[in-house]
Chain A
């Protein structure tokens, strides 16, 4: 319900110029549990204060029960907003924990600050001002205040331990195991399979089947990164020399955005990835396509192919060709991806050539150099790259 409420607010404003501000207001409202009646023309009919109170209580109660968002993940205005959105069993209990803690702790903050304000402004008898108040007394404040705090903290501890257990492991065996390796500043993804011929490598875009737990083995090739797709699960560091495990599951098809969450150097801000959740059939189709090596080069593309081998093949691999570089993303099926440069740009032919010729402009400090190409070279390379489907 909480989500639906905020969606109502969001939709009311989403096309207006004040959309951004409205969104903050909406987030603030949800955070502080301010009564929703003012803004909720579409959602709730609240005439009386009692009804409002009842709403707030049910809000608290319902927020701990599963809420299924209706909005598609890839249209989120705030794609990393884990506070209002979650799309899988590794994230949803945590989101509810967040709601409960925010509501409860905001209420406590409000009450205690209110006490502080009353303590400051309350009227006092204007007795002898030269006299100093007695030292004793007031301890009841400390006892009661600390007692209640302890009680609440104990409750929260029990709750978060339960959530921790709930999200620590998937309830069923993982359908798929992937190895995700963090590089400066992109992600390599390796799909395991019992049959070595069916293993393949891709980059920056993870495909998973909807509704199935996926086990991730997290590694790093250089410094510490952190794998984080907020609406699917919390973050886990990728530490060189160690293999950390985590699992994700998406319950709705869509594109889920992730971002490196551990400071890893100069292009840390530009290290995104996407998780594409799709039906079993679509996923299988995608896997089949990814397993293929690149199409043989047509005569028309000989020039571009040669350029690629000269300029790109040292770092990038295209399976089925002599390009076997391991320093950059595998480009065998480059055009199957939605974005390039670890999420920085959408994958259009123009963006691709912009990226190749001006990588350092878009992503300063990236390992990818800006490559000087003449016009004819550029079109030849573009033509070859367009074959990497």
Chain B
């Protein structure tokens, strides 16, 4: 094919062409060629250089689960210490470091990365594309996440872990009251992690607008995509607030700046504003994609499409929009004027409405469907129950005067765990059961699956429901111990027992994963008879995802023709489609109605993302160690690596030389 183009475009790669349509039968020579174009080199070279969204997605998932286990073990230590009054299992300083790292790990190193893992793996498959918009940026995002996670733990073995809570209020986290490297590790680690989250978010946003298969119009994209899109857009606006806050804190601590320095007119409340302007949207960032997972996967087990697709999609976006206007409800007790409290309190009430939309849509979907009681269904149904409880306790905290009592007590701890475990962990575990066959080609054990669900569900409620009571009995959060005279002994003992039962449930799940990877029953392409595109390709999918770019005609491409009362419409074409194989290529479409507008050249595997990630992370190590020469060197290396990344490449359809037919010879067009 390259040969026919060559005379016409002697100097430059072609600027335009008509994409061919066709079929690629499985096992054909042409398929082998496609495989060759997209495959990753074997061994460590491929391991460091791959830009395949599926590999990156799995890495995100595995890394996030490792952090989940670490954060979980930290939580168990905390629960042992709180099992009875006046316990001395941990010193107060150990307790403070552990609860801080528990929060930091779960909220920043598990909750979003695990969802990024699903989205990275699934988006191109759900959307009918061959990769994300920026595969190399995707790899960079993962590497920086990994390095930032390690970075935040570097002072842990020294007994110098961050100890000021995940929201790290100044002046306690400032230079006077918290000396030592701990808060600097946290501050710089957060800025570093912010880079990862930002580039990841940019990638999702651009992917949604550019990378959908033809016919995948905006009203046909799965709800998971809506959830991740909404979260990503929110990140673009919210992450700078927290990165800035932590950077200013670092300047205060290390350069002697005065942003939060009370003695020099600095304002501790500025920290709370900047942190919660980020922090509240972040709560939605770590739940909306998980809610999307349920909205997409629950219907598979209800044997009917989701009720109220449009309403749920709009509710997702409405939640986030409102989410930017309620940060002050974390600051009701800071002495702000009553008028401001009234407004933010009322807004916090309103934000429950979109959640109600989603809840009733899910219940209606189950009610009107014919549920199949597989393990994923149990997790999704359990999630709905926990979501309801967590939502109701959230409404209570929106009522300003009541929040003056509830705030900073175990009631909040209970609420946030119902929200974060209920709305993040339960859907995530359900989603692993659901997509495990796609990831590995094998089914997970149903028997262990049901055991894991019931153990987790019972343990969770036994552990966390009593925390509501502890809160109502006045137990403040973040105390390392309590005297018996407060009357909190029994609730805490029950909570500790429940948390261990929950941990056993998680363990059963992990055992199931390990066993099933090796010994699970073989799964076909679509073991659940699910409706969405990812199930149209083999399990696990080939490197190129879709041999031909499909043309989509409905929200449920794999259920077409079987839906009751379905109107006559043209069918989704999965077998025949765009043949794009002059190098790594995929189709770019228009943002709203997904009409083909451009043939996109996709990058080859590359070491530069790893190198950029490494150099940038080392730059932060340099800042931490006050080694300015090293920092400058790493900055220079980062710039050099970035320049090489951006350098025009013929394989990307970029022009790389001014003259010469010679260049046509080494053209990157053909294989």
Contacts and interface: CB of A to CB of B under 8 A. Distances in A.
Interface of A: 20-21, 23-24, 27-28, 31, 76-83, 93-94, 97-98, 101-102, 105-106, 108-109, 112-113, 115-116, 118-120, 122, 124, 129-139, 141-142, 144-146, 149-150, 153-154, 156-157, 159-161, 163-165, 167-168, 184, 218, 222-224, 226, 228, 230, 233-237, 239-242, 244-245, 259-269, 344, 364-365
B268 A239 contact: yes
A142 B307 contact: yes
5 tightest Cβ-Cβ pairs between the two chains A and B: A234-B404, A80-B474, A133-B304, A145-B360, A138-B307
B518 to A, nearest CB: 32
15 contacts: A27-B469, A116-B363, A116-B384, A120-B371, A133-B304, A134-B305, A138-B365, A139-B311, A141-B308, A146-B360, A157-B349, A161-B342, A233-B404, A236-B334, A269-B481
Nearest to B555: A135
B345 A141 contact: no
Interface in B596-636: none
A236 B399 contact: no
B368 A263 contact: no
Contacts of A119: 363-364, 366-367
B407 A224 contact: no
A230 to B, nearest CB: 5
B408 A226 contact: yes
A97 B403 CA distance: 11
A234 B388 contact: no
A243 to B, nearest CB: 8
B401 A141 contact: no
A142 B360 contact: yes
Interface stretch (B70-78, B222-230, B487-495): B487-495
Nearest to B395: A105
A316 B261 CA distance: 27
A253 to B, nearest CB: 20
Contact of A135 (B164, B304, B400, B477): B304
A240 B177 CA distance: 13
Contacts of B321: none
B564 A261 contact: no
A316 B614 CA distance: 53
B172 A264 contact: yes
Given A98-B405, A137-B368, 14 more contacts: A31-B472, A81-B487, A98-B396, A105-B392, A120-B366, A129-B303, A156-B349, A157-B349, A163-B401, A235-B407, A261-B476, A263-B477, A263-B478, A266-B96
Contacts of B399: 97, 101, 156, 159-160, 163
A109 B343 CA distance: 26
B473 interface: yes
Given A24-B469, A156-B399, A261-B408, A78 B366 contact: no
B477 A164 contact: no
B350 interface: yes
A141 B367 contact: yes
A83 B399 CA distance: 15
Contact of A364 (B92, B473, B474, B475): B92
B329 to A, nearest CB: 12
B443 to A, nearest CB: 20
Interface stretch (B181-189, B199-207, B351-359): B351-359
B473 A80 contact: yes
B666 to A, nearest CB: 52
A146 B395 contact: no
Given A129-B370, A224-B268, A161 B345 contact: yes
Interface in B362-404: 363-371, 381, 384-385, 388-389, 392-393, 395-396, 398-404
Interface string B474-511: 11111111110111111100100000000000000000
Given A109-B388, A223-B172, A133 B335 contact: no
B564 A132 contact: yes
A142 B479 CA distance: 42
A263 B165 contact: yes
B333 interface: yes
A79 to B, nearest CB: 7
A378 B389 CA distance: 56
A241 B267 contact: yes
B333 to A, nearest CB: 5
Contact of A142 (B357, B403, B481): B357
B338 interface: yes
A226 B490 contact: no
A264 B480 CA distance: 12
Contact of B363 (A112, A136, A157, A237): A112
B175 to A, nearest CB: 12
A124 B559 CA distance: 21
Interface centre among B349, B363, B398 (most CB of A within 10 A): B363
Nearest to B394: A105
Nearest to A24: B490
Contact of B562 (A131, A138, A153): A131
Contacts of B488: 78
Given A105-B392, A109-B389, A133 B563 contact: yes
B395 A153 contact: yes
A236 B404 contact: yes
A142 B311 contact: yes
Contacts of A266: 92-93, 96
B656 interface: no
Interface centre among A79, A108, A112, A135 (most CB of B within 10 A): A135
Given A20-B489, A263-B165, A265-B177, A138 B364 contact: yes
Nearest to A150: B353
B367 A138 contact: yes
A228 to B, nearest CB: 8
Interface in B158-199: 164-165, 169, 171-172, 176-177
A215 to B, nearest CB: 14
A21 B176 CA distance: 44
B66 interface: no
Interface centre among A132, A226, A244, A344 (most CB of B within 10 A): A132
Interface string B563-582: 11110000000000000000
Contacts of B407: 234-235, 261
B219 interface: no
Nearest to A238: B335
B347 to A, nearest CB: 10
A78 to B, nearest CB: 3
A149 B388 contact: no
Given A132-B562, A146-B360, A156 B405 contact: no
Given A20-B490, A236-B333, A263-B165, A153 B350 contact: yes
A124 B385 contact: no
Contacts of B338: 164-165, 168
B559 A142 contact: no
B80 interface: no
A167 B494 CA distance: 35
Contacts of A105: 392-393, 395-396
A268 B478 contact: yes
Given A105-B396, A142-B308, A259-B476, A241 B262 contact: yes
Interface in B140-172: 164-165, 169, 171-172
Contacts of A265: 96, 172, 177
Nearest to A83: B472
A78 B405 contact: no
Contacts of A364: 91-93
Nearest to A361: B88
B13 interface: no
Contacts of B472: 27, 31, 81-83, 98
Given A27-B473, A245-B335, A263 B172 contact: yes
B41 interface: no
A222 B177 contact: yes
Given A82-B474, A119-B367, A234-B333, A113 B385 contact: yes
Nearest to A137: B368
B400 A160 contact: yes
B221 interface: no
